[in-house]
Chain A
Amino acid sequence: MTTTPEPTADVIAERITRFLEERTKISFAVDTDVFASGSVNSLFAMELVVFLEESFDVEIGGSDLRLDNMRTVRSMTGLVQRLRDADEDGHG
């Protein structure tokens, strides 16, 4: 049983923004299209998937493997929250 408090949207968004900045040296606003910047490559979406899974203890399965889910800090935050909520409902 884990007693770690559920990270808030702000905390999640903050960690994603930090990872993006470390990895791309670009500071993305929450609604900026990460892929439109032209500075990240096609493998980067996969890196984001692995990063989100490992950092927030979620599994991004088949139906969630959409670029739209990875497109902005906001959409990634939403995905993580949705998956964590689903997990709470005994889905894990």
Chain B
Amino acid sequence: MAETVTELDRLRAFADELIGDSADSWDRAGTIPEEIVRKAGARGLMCAQVPERHGGLGLSSADNGELTAFVGSRCSSLRSLMTSQGMAAWTVQRLGDRKQRAALLPRLAGGEQAAVAFSEPGAGSDLSAMATRIEPDGDRVVVTGEKVWITAACYAEHLVVFGRYGDGTAAVVVPAHAEGVRVERVPEPLGCRAAGHARVRLDGVRVPAAEVLGGAGQSTELLVSTALAYGRMSVAWGCAGILRGALASVSRHARTRTQFGKPLAGHQLVARHVAELLAAEQTATRVCAHASHCWDTRSPEVVSATVLAKYVSSRHAAAGAATAVQVLASAGAQESHPVARAYRDAKLMEIIEGSNEICELLLAEHALSVHA
């Protein structure tokens, strides 16, 4: 019986080899070696959903999700770079015109790293408060503002910057090394420590007007939700991965560690932790798979299903990672140990791309309009 090896299998094997057992040390160092990021990018791992006609691998959302979960089970920092890169590519694909897609997507698919910048000191959950300005000036635009907590910015060649344009909003692609751009690393973030978060100052940065994606002056809400749709899906799958990693650590430890004359798993209170982790991992996987199915079949339900996946998966990941630390106890209580990382990383997933509370507001509104 010949087993078919899929592109997804090959990508997982590639990621497995690339990450090896280095994630702990990347976390401690607060950075992933450039060489690794470059290799992952060149293989197309970072935004594997970009269509083949644009130089990408053309993975379905479901397959890209599984790939994201695999990387997320090993290293949430590298997974975060994938999320940013994929979100940048998706933003170009959705908001850009044909010329922009043709110019930018092959570069992103080929590994030029990108970051996506919405958040500002005065605009976190409320992105309508963004103050960054994109102002036309002849055949150029001038970008001025301050962005905070921009994942991947320390590795990035391109920054997709959202800001006010006329009486609406626009996204513009700014070279990270353009004059007037300053990228300042966030010192010692709680989690995803090697994901290169930075404060980005844009001081009258001049770029060609052709870098403004798809015209300009669109609705903030539609623009932001379009970009975030990918980010939410990616974080959701990444959290399913965190749960897979936690489940593996816990299962191994509960079988091998003996206390009171039997393996930990032989104690029913510990066994319950294992069962709960399994249920959490399966729940997260199913809700992500459903959202990806909606994405791949282009069902309008994709919009709410994606928020649901992000919400359910990140909540389970945060709770599940805490459970994993509980079961490993002192064995997992060391800085940068996989479950210690999971504990710190997962907590942040309840904050980004729509915090728990923001997702709850969206889901409640959705429920009230559909089920009332």
Measured CB to CB, the residues of A under 8 A from B are 19, 23-24, 39-51, 53-54, 61-63, 65-67
Contacts and interface: CB of A to CB of B under 8 A. Distances in A.
A50 B95 contact: no
A61 B168 CA distance: 16
13 contacts: A19-B300, A43-B362, A43-B366, A44-B369, A45-B225, A47-B304, A54-B299, A54-B300, A61-B95, A62-B95, A63-B97, A65-B214, A65-B218
Interface in B213-246: 213-216, 218-219, 221-223, 225-226, 229
B219 A66 contact: yes
B5 interface: no
A65 B222 contact: yes
Task: Classify chain B: how many residues form its interface, as a range.
Answer: 20 to 34
A62 B298 contact: no
A45 B304 CA distance: 11
A47 B219 contact: no
Contacts of B225: 42-43, 45-46
Closest 9 CB pairs of A and B: A62-B214, A63-B215, A41-B365, A62-B95, A47-B300, A54-B298, A51-B300, A67-B219, A46-B303
- Interface SS of B by simple majority: helix
Contact of A50 (B96, B219, B299): B299
A45 B368 CA distance: 16
B303 A50 contact: yes
Contacts of A43: 225, 303-304, 307, 362, 365-366
Contacts of B286: none
A65 B226 CA distance: 9
A45 B222 contact: yes
Contacts of A47: 300-301, 303-304
Contacts of B302: 50
Given A43-B225, A43-B304, A66 B218 contact: yes
B2 interface: no
A48 B300 CA distance: 7
Nearest to B301: A47
Nearest to A51: B300
B81 to A, nearest CB: 25
A62 B170 CA distance: 9
A61 B271 CA distance: 51
Identify the interface centre among A40, A44, A62, A65: most chain B CB within 10 Å of its CB.
Answer: A62
B370 interface: yes
A47 B226 CA distance: 11
A79 to B, nearest CB: 13
A40 B370 CA distance: 9
A53 to B, nearest CB: 7
A60 to B, nearest CB: 9
B299 A41 contact: no
A43 B369 CA distance: 11
Given A43-B304, A48-B300, A62-B95, A23 B370 contact: yes
Interface string B192-232: 00000000000000000000011110110111011001000
